[in-house]
Amino acid sequence: MKIMSYALAAGLAVASLTTTASAADITGAGATFPFPVYSKWAEAYKKETGNGMNYQSIGSGGGIKQIQAKTVDFGATDAPMKGEDLDKNGLLQFPTVMGAVVPVVNIEGIKSGQIKLTGQVLADIFQGKIAKWNDPKIAQLNAGVNLPSANITPVYRSDSSGTTSVFTTYLSQVSDAWKGELGAGTTVNWPIGQGGKGNEGVAATVKQVPNSIGYVEYAYAKQNNIPYTLLQNKAGKYPQPEIKSFQAAAASANWSSAPGFGISLTNQVGEDAWPITNPTFILVYKTAEKPEQTAEVLKFFEWSFKNGDKLASDLDYVPLPDNVVEQIRSTWSKDIKTSAGQPVYKM
């Protein structure tokens, strides 16, 4: 488990909360996908107020379990909970930023963007159907690239992972064989390869294992200088993984089409769209047993929505559109209440 402590704020003028909280630490746990941006947000927030936020980067499955067990003030997941599960557990879900999953490789002499893959070829690699880097199916996509006659080692998430859910959702969309044999989920029965815990673990394993390929959130590839591959999108193009292509994937998103804003942005239309783009989500209880703590959580994300866009963009996450942020604030005001039925947050 990788744990980082940063600060959270007490006072914020953009909203009033019916419960006046004293300075207090809050805790969250879950998705490793947004860990870099949450760390940056919390660090900046600390400089303003000095209050602490402890976030455990343990994977989406762990985050859901901890919020259900009420051991944290908020949970974090990349795989959105379904409406019926939110209702059953009394949880409210909202997105924070959008990011992207990228295939990363460790091949001697290969730099970022030098190798192109289709979704079908990527699925075949992780199923063990394509076993060497100079396989004809890879070679025909990469004329002029010196591909080694070396065995491929796929690297996957060993923990319950929202990043895996996003990745396998995409593979299920582009490969009928993958959909029929393995499907999509926070864990799947990987037929080949090595596991790593968290985005951190996958990134570290790929860096250590020659001729490997893994999948991580783009910020991990960028921060660790791990070469990424290009990936063919639905329009047949090979966009660079960058803010522009992540925004293109979200351009036609209908955030109100699923409970808790739980939409998918994988395999979207658009020539510039990166094919494995996704939002990441926060979970809090609708009935706040600890209103002061819940108020602090909402203050933090209120501040982040208002002040954290540049920090997010610097890490190649995509900030949410303003109208979506207003929808989120509206759900906070309407749905999150104390045990006495008083609103915790007022717009």
Report DSSP letters for 267-294, one per residue: T-SSTT--SEEEEEEEEEESEESSHHHH
Q: In this predicted model, what pLDDT tens digit does every residue of 211-223 receive, in sequence order?
A: 999 999 999 999 8
Give a yes or no: residue 267 inside a domain.
no
Q: Give the domain extent around 148.
A: 101-251
Q: CA 290, 296, 299: angle at the middle one, nearest 5?
A: 140
Tell me which DSSP letter residue 108 carries.
T
Q: Give pLDDT, residue 21.
A: 37
Q: What is the CATH number of the domain that holds 221?
A: 3.40.190.10
Q: Which of 23-37, 224-238, 282-296 has the lowest mean pLDDT?
A: 23-37
Clarify whether residues 195 and 209 are in a common domain.
Answer: yes
What is the spatial distance between Cα 23 and Cα 181, in angstroms, rounded to a whole number? 51
pLDDT for residue 18 is more than 70 = no
Q: Give pLDDT, residue 337.
A: 96
Clarify whether residues 53 and 133 are in a common domain.
Answer: no
Give a yes or no: residue 211 inside a domain.
yes
User: Which of 197, 259, 263, 220 minimizes the C-alpha distance to 62?
Assistant: 197
Could you tell me which residues are beta bridge partners of residue 248?
none
CB neighbours of residue 328 within 10 Å: 23
The total domain count for the chain is: 2
What is the spatial distance between Cα 227 and Cα 211, in angstroms, rounded to a whole number? 12
What is the spatial distance between Cα 179 and Cα 172, in angstroms, rounded to a whole number? 4
Strands (DSSP E) along 17-168, which ranges? 26-30, 51-57, 74-77, 91-106, 116-117, 153-157
Tell me which DSSP letter residue 321 carries.
P
Q: For strands 26-30 and 74-77, give the pairing.
A: parallel
Clarify whether residues 145 and 164 are in a common domain.
Answer: yes
2 or 317: which leads in pLDDT: 317
Give a yes or no: residue 57 inside a domain.
yes
Q: In this predicted model, what pLDDT tens digit does every residue of 249-260 receive, in sequence order?
A: 998 889 999 999
What is the spatial distance between Cα 338 and Cα 345, in angstroms, rounded to a whole number? 10
Q: In this predicted model, what pLDDT tens digit does every residue of 130-182 receive, in sequence order?
A: 999 999 999 999 999 999 999 999 999 999 999 999 999 999 999 999 999 99
pLDDT for residue 6 is more than 50 = no
As a residue count, the chain comes to 347
Clarify whether residues 184 and 229 are in a common domain.
Answer: yes
The model's pTM is: 0.87
Clarify whether residues 236 and 115 are in a common domain.
Answer: yes
What is the spatial distance between Cα 317 and Cα 14, in angstroms, rounded to a whole number? 24
Contact 237, 271 (CB under 8 A): yes
pLDDT for residue 12 is more than 80 = no
pLDDT for residue 77 is more than 90 = yes
Give a yes or no: residue 14 inside a domain.
yes
DSSP H helical segments within 69-146, as ranges?
A: 83-89, 119-126, 136-139
2 or 200: which leads in pLDDT: 200
54 or 244: which leads in pLDDT: 244
What is the spatial distance between Cα 204 and Cα 208, in angstroms, rounded to a whole number? 6
Q: Give pLDDT, residue 24.
A: 64
